[in-house]
Amino acid sequence: MKKLIFLTGEDMLDVDLPIVKEINSSNNKDFHIIWVVVLRGYGWFKRDEMIGFCQQNQIECIILEQIGKLKNPLTILFTFKLLKFLKSLKADIIYDSYLGVPYMHFLRPLYLKKNLFVIAIHDVVQHYKMKDKMIRTFYYTFLMKTYFNFHIFSENQLRIFKEKFKGKNSFYTPLYLKNFGNNAAKKLTINKDITYFLFFGIIRPNKGLDLLIEAANILGKKYKNFHIIIAGKCDDWESYSSTIKYPDQFTLNIGNIEKQEVPALFANTHFLMLPYRDVTQSGVLLTAYNYNVPVIASKLEWFEEYVDDNVNGYLFENEHIDTLVKKMEMAINLDQSAYDKLVSNLKTFIAQRINIKEIAREYVKFFKSVNNNE
Say whether pLDDT at 356 is over 90: yes
Q: Are 134 and 199 found together in one domain?
A: no
Quick one: pLDDT at residue 184? 52
Mean pLDDT of the chain: 91
Higher pLDDT, 166 or 372: 166
Q: Are 300 and 311 found together in one domain?
A: yes
Higher pLDDT, 68 or 54: 54
CA 18 to chain centre: 13
Report if residue 130 sits inside a domain. yes
How many CB atoms are located within 10 Å of the residue 364 CB?
17
Q: Are 157 and 279 found together in one domain?
A: no
Q: Are 138 and 236 found together in one domain?
A: no
Question: Partners of 314 in the beta sheet?
Answer: 296
Least confident of 94-103, 191-200, 212-221, 334-343: 191-200
Report if residue 183 sits inside a domain. no
Q: Are 122 and 165 found together in one domain?
A: yes
Say whether pLDDT at 27 is over 90: no
Say whether pLDDT at 58 is over 60: yes
Quick one: pLDDT at residue 101? 87
Quick one: pLDDT at residue 70? 66
Amino acid residing at 220 = G
Report if residue 188 sits inside a domain. no
Quick one: pLDDT at residue 129? 57
Q: Are 121 and 268 found together in one domain?
A: no
Report the pLDDT averaged over residues 61-80. 85
Which pLDDT tens digit goes with each residue over 110-156?
999 999 999 999 888 765 555 666 777 889 999 999 999 999 998 88
On whether the CB atoms of residues 285 and 350 are closer than 8 A, the answer is no
Q: Are 166 and 208 found together in one domain?
A: no
What does the alpha-carbon distance between residue 317 and residue 298 come to, in Å, rounded to a whole number? 6
Quick one: pLDDT at residue 170? 95
CA 51 to chain centre: 23
What does the alpha-carbon distance between residue 91 and residue 361 come to, in Å, rounded to a whole number? 20
Higher pLDDT, 321 or 26: 321
How many CB atoms are located within 10 Å of the residue 256 CB?
12
Q: What is the pLDDT confidence band of residue 317, given thresholds at 50, 70 and 90? A: very high
Q: What is the pLDDT confidence band of residue 102, given thresholds at 50, 70 and 90? A: confident
- What CATH number corresponds to the domain at position 116? 3.40.50.2000
SS3 sequence of 23-89: HHHCCCCCEEEEEEEEECCCCCCCHHHHHHHHHHCCCEEEEEECCCCCCCCHHHHHHHHHHHHHHHH
Quick one: pLDDT at residue 41? 80
Quick one: pLDDT at residue 192? 61
Report the pLDDT averaged over residues 33-39. 96
Report if residue 190 sits inside a domain. no
Q: Are 113 and 231 found together in one domain?
A: no
Q: Are 157 and 261 found together in one domain?
A: no
Q: Which residue range(s) make up the domain with 274?
A: 195-353
What does the alpha-carbon distance between residue 48 and residue 125 come to, in Å, rounded to a whole number? 35
On whether the CB atoms of residues 243 and 217 are closer than 8 A, the answer is yes
Domains in the chain, number: 2
Least confident of 68-72, 259-263, 273-277: 68-72
Quick one: pLDDT at residue 374? 53
Quick one: pLDDT at residue 210? 97
Q: What is the pLDDT confidence band of residue 29, given thresholds at 50, 70 and 90? A: confident
Q: Are 119 and 224 found together in one domain?
A: no
Q: Are 318 and 200 found together in one domain?
A: yes
